[in-house]
Amino acid sequence: MNWEKEDNFLQKNFKFKNFGMAMDFINKIARIAEEMNHHPDILLHSYNQVLIKTMTHDVGEITDKDYTLSKKIDAL
């Protein structure tokens, strides 16, 4: 599944084999977000799924920062 635009966010849902793998993924995203100083909304749901939503909050829309972050997340 590709990233989708919805309500001024770029978002994608990721599904993992188990809870631990989902949490590992979240922690990897956190490190990238801190390095970029660009922090997405992260929702862990259904025990093994992670929904990522990103937008550049100070401008209220999707920017190049969000596309860069999404590419880094996809590379994990």
Token pair, residue 74, equals 């996809």
Mean per-residue pLDDT, 8-25: 98
Q: Any idea what the CATH number is for the domain that residue 29 is in?
A: 3.30.1360.20
| Structure confidence at residue 62 (pLDDT) | 97
Structural domain including 69 reads 4-74
Domain count, the chain: 1
Distance CA 25, CA 3 (A): 17
Provide the pLDDT for residue 49. 98
Which pLDDT tens digit goes with each residue over 26-52?
A: 999 999 999 999 999 999 999 999 999
Please give the pLDDT value at position 5: 96
- Single out the residue of 41, 64, 40, 52 nearest to residue 15, CA to CA: 52
Q: What pLDDT is recorded for position 1?
A: 62
Q: Is the pLDDT of residue 70 over 70?
A: yes
- How far apart CA 65 and CA 40 sit, in angstroms, is 11
Which among 2, 8, 19, 17 is positioned nearest to 41, based on CA atoms? Answer: 8
Q: Report the pLDDT value the prediction gives residue 57, as an integer from 0 to 100.
A: 92
